[in-house]
A and B are shown apart, each in its own frame.
Chain A
Amino acid sequence: MPDKAGQPKLFGARVKRVEDPRFLTGRGRYVDDFVRPGMLHVAFVRSTEAHADVLSVDVSGARAMEGVHAVISGEDLAHVKPITCNSTYPSWQPTKFHALARDRVRFVGEAVAAVVADDRYLAEDATELVQVAYRPLEPIASVTAAIREGAPRLHDGWEDNFFVKRHVKIGEPDRVFEEAHGVLELDLITHRSTGIPMENRGVIAEYDPADEVLTVWTSTQIPHLVRTGLADFLGVPEHRIRVIGPDVGGGFGIKGHLFPEEIVLAALAMQVQRPVKWIEDRREHLLACIHAREHDHHLQVAYQPDGEVVGLRARIYVDCGAYSVYPWTSTMDTGMALGILPGPYRIRHYECEAYSVTTNKCPLGPYRGVSRPQACLSIERAMDEVARALGMDPLDVRRRNVLQVHDYPYESVTGLVYDSASVAESLEKVLELCDWGELQRRKQAARAEGRYFGVGFGHYIEQTAHATQEFIKRGVPIIFGYESANVRMDPSGKVLVHVSTHSHGQGHETTYAQVVADELALPLEDVRIVFGDTSSTPYGHGTFASRSAVLAGGAAIQAAGRVRDLLISFAAKELEANPNDLELADGHVAVKGSPDKRVAIAQLARWTYWRPERLPDGMEPRLEAVASYDAPPGTGTFANAAHVALVEVDPDTGGVKTLGYWVVEDCGHMINPLVVEGQVHGGVAQGIGGALLEELVYDENAQLMTTTFLDYRLPGATDIPHIAVGHLSTPSPFTVSGIKGMGEGGAIGPGPAIAAAVQDALKPIGDVFVNELPLTPERVRRFVRIAEESAGDRT
């Protein structure tokens, strides 16, 4: 931890968030809170067909409506390029995602036309007057339908319906499978769900013909990438585009995309020469934003009599929907699953085939955890099943296979460098935290009363803050290799920090201020963090993949360190001291050991700008530094956590209630434990939602059946138990200040922990392998029937 300033450290303290008062008083500013002079409102006409040729779009009726200013369809955007995002893998097949559909629609909800009117009510009225003629084509509603022989191709020029096909074979899987004591074959299925920020998407676009500048306010995690995407696809020079991501009401990865609607709004603002606003409604969000999580894993697990897992084979299908998403491509889920599947275990023989499949569904993209929840479900359930096959304790099977503290840094079978971790320790610690023995006793007591309690465990090692090397391996067109920070001290000695990441709940305004304040020996209130506006912040990729604290935090620490060095050089001249004898403390630069011999930082700052003649030779009159940080070695720093769930199952209704939840996490040195715990809680709640409640259900015609929050069940306060969180701290040996990322982790563990707990609860009824999420009542009832049948078979 930094120990450069002789004052209490903010790093590591449970500092209350500085951004909170504005949210608590209703003064947050989200996109919909901005009103521009003369602003008009946009509503979209969306495809009702999953797969169809668009024969015609008749906008005449809508155009004639009073209060309507413009109606456009795909042909009006001939000057706009489709969104493309292409992998560099040889098997890659590209898509063209038009901002408004041209000749063909490929999912229900795809934007077909846009209406501009005086207000949102009128705009929505007018959408009903747009007549779209479709010629329906055979819809592909599932991976099974997409990969069967003779399936229609969704995209012109494609050989099959795979965005990408990957295959790796490492070690000698054929030999170890041949020689193994036993081999298990397992299917693990996760159905479609998504991030669901409480704020829907929203965009305002305004074109200023005087400055020739297009300004776009959008609810995004990646303002700089949106700007570049708009420039590339819209054909507007990038220095004439300003993107502002103001307060954003949750993102969870879903808002880390360039969207067709952003392009349409920008084009409309230039066409009608008035500011235009679009606020998405929840039905649109569920239909057409970004979906996630839909994975089928087929596993083969080779094991020895003592529980050692010696080899792993996997075939992975991800239903990526209709189009490749920008900036990720449709390779993100398959790539992550392929890389992280062996998890925290010493598995050296591995073979994996991974397929990104196109279907007539909403595009699939990153959502908190990106594949890691599915990979964790697979490997953890596999460990449980090896234990069952051998009659062992599932925890002992993990103890037999898990990496030990002396194994790190460890290069995994897929080439990931696990820098440091405490997986073995967190397992033991979470057992203490939850009082595992007591949970087992509670379970038995409940059984005596005819109730079905179950306890489940899951743990993982989590790649975070992966940077250049990892994204090169993933074959994405943009290498998300760094984040940047500009630290500027003004003549009063106060500090403004501009960062390339975006904060939408993570508390960056507090945590970055903590680390910068420490570097400069200033109080927290003397540091202000600015993010989200591309006209003032340094270029960067944004907030995703548990990277911000490590990369932008690291950049801020480094930039602040350079400003500190400038202050020390200046003070050395003023105090006639050797720079090596100086330190920053309590708002001063002082001679170590002689605290009276000092000069105030505010004084140095004032002189820097007002009294350049006092500056040391060669020092420019500026207390400012910009730094970019790409955390070595670039394949990520690895956090870890262990989760335990206690559930009660009602076998008659299939209802599952989560009664208790325990987490021991390790993200290295914590900047702010309050923020870390909040992130863990929120991730776990999303994970429980994904394990039990949340599902985007398409019918066989690829029509989405879950278009309201009555059908798509989000976890409320009565669905989530108290979540107890314990910490371990194994700092990264590589990153600035030993920080690791942790924003996604909470969402990874609940799937396997809950699945195992439900299976455990059903054990008195019979044997069953719970392999499918979410565990809706219907599915739980199915597992109950399987358990009953297995018991019947036994008798």
Chain B
Amino acid sequence: MITTAVTITVNGEAYSTEVESRKLLCDFIREDLRLTGTHVGCEQGVCGTCTVLLDGQPVRSCLLFAAQLEGACVETIESLATDNEHLHPVQRGFWEKHGLQCGFCTPGMVLTAKALLEENPDPTDEQIRTAIAGNICRCTGYVFIVEAIQAAARELRERGEAVDA
């Protein structure tokens, strides 16, 4: 087995480890770090289920090797809330508006939405649809996801939180 030494920061914690060089980032997150909130839907880089944030931007973790991410900062769904009482506004929006059904695409969808709202705090429905076009949801038909993201955007704006672009 060929391995590579890397240091990757995941959800604020730095991991220095020898990782099999061909190991996908999604497998590293799920198997080595046991953060199973990141799901894998196609391993072909299309469905967006495995989306994580890499230095703040949504990426498909099935298209990256862990070994190529020396010094990178990764955020997964587990970074957003430590318990049910302190959900991120995007998570709360999805809950309030029934923006999820089976829950499998949800972590990737939530992270994509979070990244969108950090860039564009007041998106139109069309902008939301474009932003999430790379995240396939097979259950919801997207209607309530769009409403959920709008609700989150409203809450974030009302809070007047500083937005880090």
On A, residues with C-beta under 8 Å from B are 16-17, 19-30, 32-33, 35, 121, 195-200, 247-252, 279, 281-283, 504-507, 674-675, 677-678, 680-686, 708-710, 714-718, 720, 722-723, 746
Instruction: State whether B98 touches A198 (Cβ < 8 A).
Output: no
Pick the residue among B20, B36, B125, B132 that contacts A121 (CB under 8 A).
Answer: B20
Instruction: State whether B36 touches A32 (Cβ < 8 A).
Output: yes
Instruction: State whether B20 touches A16 (Cβ < 8 A).
Output: no
Number of interface residues of B (CB under 8 A): 59
Instruction: State whether B141 touches A682 (Cβ < 8 A).
Output: yes
Instruction: State whether A681 touches B40 (Cβ < 8 A).
Output: no
Question: How far is A715 from B136 in the complex, measured between Cα atoms in Å?
Answer: 7
Separation in Å of the B42 CB from the closest CB of chain A? Answer: 4
Known contacts A198-B104, A250-B138, A505-B139; decide if A718 and B133 are in contact (CB<8 Å).
Answer: yes
Query: Which B64-118 residues sit within 8 Å CB-CB of chain A?
Result: 76-78, 80-81, 83-84, 87, 91, 94-96, 98, 100-107, 110
Whether B154 sits at the interface, judged by CB under 8 Å, is no
Separation in Å of the B58 CB from the closest CB of chain A? Answer: 14
Known contacts A16-B98, A249-B102, A505-B101; decide if A718 and B130 are in contact (CB<8 Å).
Answer: yes
Q: List 30 A-B contacts (CB under 8 A).
A: A16-B98, A20-B100, A21-B95, A23-B106, A24-B87, A24-B91, A24-B95, A25-B80, A25-B84, A26-B36, A26-B38, A28-B104, A29-B36, A249-B103, A249-B104, A249-B105, A279-B40, A281-B43, A282-B41, A677-B143, A678-B98, A678-B101, A678-B139, A682-B139, A685-B138, A708-B44, A708-B46, A714-B138, A716-B134, A717-B135
Question: How far is A745 from B78 in the complex, measured between Cα atoms in Å?
Answer: 35
Instruction: State whether A282 touches B141 (Cβ < 8 A).
Output: no
CB neighbours (8 Å) of B47 from chain A are 198, 282, 709, 714
Instruction: State whether B43 touches A26 (Cβ < 8 A).
Output: no
Question: How far is A23 from B87 in the complex, measured between Cα atoms in Å?
Answer: 12
Q: Smallest CB-CB separation from B142: which chain A residue?
A: A717
Question: How far is A119 from B78 in the complex, measured between Cα atoms in Å?
Answer: 25
Separation in Å of the B123 CB from the closest CB of chain A? Answer: 12
Known contacts A26-B36, A250-B138, A709-B42; decide if A20 and B95 are in contact (CB<8 Å).
Answer: yes
Whether B10 sits at the interface, judged by CB under 8 Å, is no
Instruction: State whether B137 touches A198 (Cβ < 8 A).
Output: yes
Whether B25 sits at the interface, judged by CB under 8 Å, is no
Known contacts A20-B94, A717-B133; decide if A282 and B44 are in contact (CB<8 Å).
Answer: yes
Instruction: State whether A717 touches B132 (Cβ < 8 A).
Output: yes
User: Looking at chain B's contact residues, is the secondary structure mostly helix, strand, loop, or mixed?
Assistant: loop
CB neighbours (8 Å) of B156 from chain A are none
Q: Smallest CB-CB separation from B20: which chain A residue?
A: A121
On B, residues with C-beta under 8 Å from A are 20, 22-23, 30, 34-44, 46-47, 49, 76-78, 80-81, 83-84, 87, 91, 94-96, 98, 100-107, 110, 125, 128-130, 132-146
Pick the residue among A30, A281, A710 that contacts B104 (CB under 8 A).
Answer: A30
Known contacts A25-B37, A709-B42; decide if A506 and B94 are in contact (CB<8 Å).
Answer: no
Known contacts A24-B95, A249-B103; decide if A678 and B140 are in contact (CB<8 Å).
Answer: yes
Separation in Å of the A254 CB from the closest CB of chain B? Answer: 10
Pick the residue among A26, A678, A685, A708 that contacts B107 (CB under 8 A).
Answer: A26
Separation in Å of the B121 CB from the closest CB of chain A? Answer: 19
Sorted from nearest, which 5 A-B pairs have the closest CB atoms?
A: A26-B37, A23-B103, A249-B104, A681-B141, A505-B101
Pick the residue among B34, B41, B105, B136 that contacts A200 (CB under 8 A).
Answer: B41
Separation in Å of the B139 CB from the closest CB of chain A? Answer: 5
CB neighbours (8 Å) of A195 from chain B are 138
Known contacts A16-B96, A25-B81, A25-B87; decide if A723 and B141 are in contact (CB<8 Å).
Answer: yes
Instruction: State whether B43 touches A282 (Cβ < 8 A).
Output: yes
Known contacts A281-B43, A722-B125; decide if A716 and B140 are in contact (CB<8 Å).
Answer: no
Question: How far is A268 from B140 in the complex, measured between Cα atoms in Å?
Answer: 37
Q: Smallest CB-CB separation from B48: which chain A residue?
A: A716
CB neighbours (8 Å) of A709 from chain B are 42, 44, 46-47, 136
Question: How far is A722 from B94 in the complex, measured between Cα atoms in Å?
Answer: 17
CB neighbours (8 Å) of B144 from chain A are 677-678, 681
CB neighbours (8 Å) of A723 from chain B are 141, 143
Quick one: which of A33, A121, A198, A677 has the most chain B CB within 10 A? A198
Q: Smallest CB-CB separation from A707: which chain B residue?
A: B44
Q: Smallest CB-CB separation from A679: which chain B residue?
A: B101
Separation in Å of the B118 CB from the closest CB of chain A? Answer: 18
Question: How far is A198 from B39 in the complex, measured between Cα atoms in Å?
Answer: 9
